Amino acid sequence: MCVCVCECCQVAVQPLSEVAELWDRVQAALVALKHDCGLAPISNIKQTIRALLTRTLNSTDGDAPNLHVVLKDDVNDVVFSLL
């Protein structure tokens, strides 16, 4: 019985290692995004997206993309569509 469990666990080592690496990369990307948006590292992703959208929608730059944004606070959804 113990040998079977060990063999099953060995099969899971590689996928778990990949997941851990991807998780670290996502967290690093979120920290960089928060920094670029001028937010504290403790801010959540919803605050970050709102700051990013505010900057994009209030941009006076002619090259800014046209976005249609719907924020639904009751279900924590953010819907984006490029126009």
**Domain parsing of the chain, residue ranges:** 2-82
- Provide the token pair at 29: 């990307």
Q: What are phi and psi of 78, to 5 degrees?
A: -125, 125
Cα torsion angle, 43, 46, 49, 54, sign: negative
The ranges of the chain with pLDDT < 70 are 1-5, 61-83
Give the pLDDT of residue 57: 73
Only one residue has tokens 């800014």, namely 64
> Is the entire prediction scored with pTM above 0.85?
no
Tell me the pairing of strands 77-82 and 67-72: antiparallel
Give the pLDDT of residue 7: 75
User: In this structure, what is the dihedral angle of CA atoms 23, 25, 29, 35, given to the nearest 10 degrees?
Assistant: 90
